[in-house]
Amino acid sequence: MMKHYTRILSIAGTDPSAGAGIQADIKTASALGVYCTTAITAIVDQNTLGVRNILPLSAEWVEGQIRAVLDDVGTDAIKIGMLCNKEQISMVAKLIKEYGIRNVVLDPVLASTSGATFLKEEGLRFLLQELIPHVRLVTPNIPEGLHILSGAMSEDDQMEDIARALTSCCGTSVLLKGGHLKDATEKGLTMDMLCDAETGNNITTYTHEYISTPNTHGTGCTLSSAIASYIALNPDMPMCDVVAKAHDYVANAIKAAAEYEIGKGHGPLHHFWNKWN
Ligand code: PXL
Tens of pLDDT along 243-257?
A: 999 999 999 999 999
C-alpha 115/C-alpha 53 separation (Å) is: 12
Give the pLDDT score at 179: 79
Residue 46 CA, closest ligand 1 atom number: 11
Q: What are phi and psi of 10, to 5 degrees?
A: -100, 125
Average pLDDT of the segment spanning 138-156? 91
Residue 51: strand, helix, or coil = strand
Residue 221 CA, closest ligand 1 atom number: 1
**Rounded alpha-carbon distances, angstroms, from residue 112 to 12, 26, 137, 219:** 13, 20, 20, 11
Taking a C-beta distance cutoff of 8 angstroms, is the pair 69, 41 a contact? no
Give the pLDDT score at 57: 97
Catalytic annotation, pick one of 13, 19, 21, 220: 220
Taking a C-beta distance cutoff of 8 angstroms, is the pair 171, 133 a contact? yes
Taking a C-beta distance cutoff of 8 angstroms, is the pair 224, 231 a contact? no
pLDDT interval class at 113 (50, 70, 90): low
Ligand 1 center to 221 CA (angstroms)? 7
Q: Is the pLDDT of residue 162 over 70?
A: yes
19 is catalytic: no
- Which residues have CB under 8 Å from 111's CB, separation 6+? 117, 118, 119, 143, 144
Q: Which of 11, 15, 107 to mutate to test the pocket of ligand 1 (most atoms within 8 A of CB)?
A: 15
pLDDT interval class at 187 (50, 70, 90): confident
Residue 193: strand, helix, or coil = strand
pLDDT interval class at 151 (50, 70, 90): confident
Ligand 1 center to 112 CA (angstroms)? 6
Give the pLDDT score at 112: 65
pLDDT interval class at 186 (50, 70, 90): confident
Residue 67: strand, helix, or coil = helix
Lowest-confidence segment of 106-115, 179-188, 217-226 by average pLDDT:
179-188
Percentage of residues in the chain having pLDDT higher than 70:
96
Lowest-confidence segment of 93-97, 153-157, 162-166, 217-221 by average pLDDT:
153-157
Catalytic annotation, pick one of 28, 216, 240, 245: 216
**Model confidence pLDDT, tens digit, residues 14-69:** 999 999 999 999 999 999 999 999 999 999 999 999 999 999 999 999 999 999 99
Query: What is the CB-side half-sphere exposure of residue 256 using CA atoms within 13 A?
Result: 16
Catalytic annotation, pick one of 27, 79, 177, 245: 177
User: What is the average pLDDT score of the chain?
Assistant: 94
177 is catalytic: yes
Q: Is the pLDDT of residue 72 over 80?
A: yes
C-alpha 211/C-alpha 146 separation (Å) is: 25
Residue nearest to atom 5 of ligand 1 (CA): 21
Ligand 1 center to 2 CA (angstroms)? 36
Average pLDDT of the segment spanning 189-208? 95
Q: Provide the residue type at 40 as one letter.
A: I
Residue nearest to atom 7 of ligand 1 (CA): 21
Full-prediction pTM beyond 0.85? yes
Give the binding-site residues of ligand 1, using a 6 Å CB cut-off: 12-15, 20-21, 44, 46, 81-82, 109, 112, 220-221
Ligand 1 center to 269 CA (angstroms)? 13
**Rounded alpha-carbon distances, angstroms, from residue 74 to 3, 42, 44, 135, 277:** 15, 22, 26, 18, 33
Give the pLDDT score at 42: 97
Taking a C-beta distance cutoff of 8 angstroms, is the pair 78, 105 a contact? yes
pLDDT interval class at 6 (50, 70, 90): very high
How far the first Cα of the chain sits from its last, in Å, is 33
Give the pLDDT score at 39: 98
